[in-house]
Amino acid sequence: MTTALPTLTPEAQSLAALAQGRTGTGPRIRRAPWFLRALPGALCLAFFAYMFIGVMPMTDASAITSGDGNSTERLAVLGMTGIALFEIIRRRRIVLPLVLRSWPVWLVLGWFCASVSWAAFPDIAVRRVTVMVFICIITLAIAAGIGPMRRVLGLMAGILVVVIAGDLAVTVLNPGFAFTEIGVRGYHQQKNVAGLVAMLAFIIAIGWTCAAPRPRRVLAGLAFALAAFGFLVLTKSKTSMMLALLGAGLLPCMLVLRRMGPAAALFLTLAGIGAVGVTYLGVTAFSGDFIGLLTPGNDASFTGRTQIWDFAASEIARRPWTGYGFGSFWDVGDANDPLLRAPPGSWLATLKIGERADVVINEAHNGYLDLRLQGGAPALAFAVLAQLLTIYALAVKLFSRRTIRADAVAAATFLVIALVVLVHNATESSLWMRGQVLANVSILISLLAFRREPAPEPAGKRP
């Protein structure tokens, strides 16, 4: 008569294997050298520095540099891409499933790559879409190797502390460069970029503080948030200020909804959408301007943006399904500047073209219009779909019981940023806009959202 041996649970098997490794009775698990383990974090920091600091701080923007970049920037992107390819090959077993799960990102990128074949300026489109491909490769390597979401949040917070400190230092020590007629820009090329970075810093500061609300961390986080918002006010970037306050309000709500559960969250979300709809109907019923109420100073023209939107819509009508190709509408040289086709009587027709321009218009100031200008209706549909699926994937992580609190706060922070991006593109262009800070951040957030989260680390090894 034989006696059946007890079957060990997977958890017990893991503990037994760990015990064997410690006592030397089983095969030891070989760990990669420390510099290989540190490579994803170093690449992530380099990528954030490239986005938020740039390769040439304290330089004036021009139509040429904003359109074609410079050799230093190309070298930086190529260097990061080389490291990323090494990481992708090394982590191919993780990367391949991530590529399949993040198909919405590659759908958008693939469409823009295809747009080279019908682009108005194919040589320009090839250069610019190649840089976008490199950005996607870099973010793919980061998402595959960086580890839990809280680590990304911490690295982003760390680099943004340096950025805000640098901006404030330049504002004090070099006011001749930092101050412009329309707002403070710090060491950035223009004040809108400075405002966008400060907005992200403010939201990240709140998320980083909520991830581990210990007394010292709370004080440090509040100081970081106040410094970021103070600099944001100095930039006079109205859109970024409004979105920063929106993000600051949404983030605690996300964490409260997590405690309430997904059903309550869905109900309250639908109720909020319904309340906005009822308010809209109520305002318009009395001949009110609902959109104007949402803008500072009740400015229904959005500081003259409506004329840019009308011009963009007329250009979209020329190529409604294909657009002009990725990066082949704006910044295509003085002789081909689209504003040369601006209708007489519009203030756009009075602008100077080229480097002598007092105001450079190189976007439609509406991301949804710019998507159609570059890739037609399919580009708009694919990009919005990718963003909505990103939001859904982050919401799943937020409400999952397997997600520890610190990672849930990071997911909530990135979810808020993803929602802010949708609103931001109503008056600015950042969805898949080349060289735009929010565009690069959005791609990284999407890849983080679509991946399978790594297994939780032992309590003693958590940062």
Grade residue 64 by pLDDT with cuts at 50, 70 and 90: very low
What is the rounded distance in angstroms from the CA atom of residue 158 to the CA atom of residue 25?
Answer: 42
How much of the chain, in percent, has pLDDT values that exceed 70? 80
Query: 244 and 180 in contact (C-beta within 8 Å)?
Result: no
In a domain, 393, yes or no: yes
In a domain, 24, yes or no: no
**C-alpha closest to that of 266 among 386, 402, 398, 382:** 398
What's residue 212's pLDDT?
87
> How confident is the model over 316-368, as pLDDT tens digits?
999 999 999 999 999 888 888 888 888 887 777 777 676 555 567 888 889 99
Judge whether residue 63 has pLDDT over 80.
no
What's residue 86's pLDDT?
95
Residues, the chain: 463
**C-alpha closest to that of 84 among 141, 122, 38:** 141
Grade residue 65 by pLDDT with cuts at 50, 70 and 90: very low
Judge whether residue 72 has pLDDT over 90.
no
Specify burial of residue 399 (Cβ count, 10 A radius: 0-12, 13-18, 19+): buried
Q: Where are the alpha helices (DSSP H) in 146-261?
A: 149-173, 175-178, 191-211, 215-235, 238-260
In a domain, 35, yes or no: no
> How confident is the model over 233-267, as pLDDT tens digits?
999 998 899 999 999 999 998 888 888 877 767 76
Q: Where are the alpha helices (DSSP H) in 338-366?
A: none
In a domain, 463, yes or no: no
Query: 150 and 462 in contact (C-beta within 8 Å)?
Result: no
Grade residue 459 by pLDDT with cuts at 50, 70 and 90: very low
Judge whether residue 463 has pLDDT over 50.
no
- What is the number of structural domains in the chain? 1
In a domain, 18, yes or no: no
What's residue 348's pLDDT?
78
pTM of the model: 0.86
Per-residue b or e along 302-332, where b marks 16 or more CB atoms closer than 10 Å to that residue's CB = beebebbbebbeebbeebeebbbbbbbbbbb
Distances (CA, A) of 391 to 18, 41, 201, 380, 416: 37, 24, 20, 17, 9
In a domain, 93, yes or no: yes
Q: What is the mean pLDDT of residues 408-422?
A: 95
In a domain, 233, yes or no: yes
> How confident is the model over 143-181, as pLDDT tens digits?
999 989 999 999 999 999 999 999 999 999 999 998 988
What is the rounded distance in angstroms from the CA atom of residue 348 to the CA atom of residue 305?
Answer: 10
Range of the domain at 406: 41-305+353-454
**C-alpha closest to that of 81 among 41, 135, 118, 27:** 135
Distances (CA, A) of 440 to 126, 148, 255, 437: 18, 19, 26, 5
In a domain, 171, yes or no: yes
